[in-house]
Chains A and B, each alone.
Chain A
Amino acid sequence: MSQHAGTERLDSGLAHAGVRSYVSGFAMSILFTIAAYLLVTDRVLPTGPLVAVILVAALAQLAPSCTASSTSAPSRGRAGSSSCSSPWRSSC
Chain B
Amino acid sequence: MRRIPSWHAVWGLRAAALILLFWLWERAGRQPGAYGIPAASATAAAFWQLLTSGALIAAVGTSARSFVLGFGPAVLVGIPVGLLMAFVPPLGRMARVYLDVAMAVPMAAVVPLVILTLGINVAAVALVVFVFSMPFVASNTYGGVREVSPRLIEMALAFDARRRHILFKILLPGAMPMILAGIRYGLARAFVGLVVAELLLAPFGLGELIADARSTFDFDRMFASVLALLLAAVVVISGVQRLEGRLLHWRQ
- Do A and B interact with each other, yes or no? no
Interface residue ranges, A against B (CB under 8 Å): none
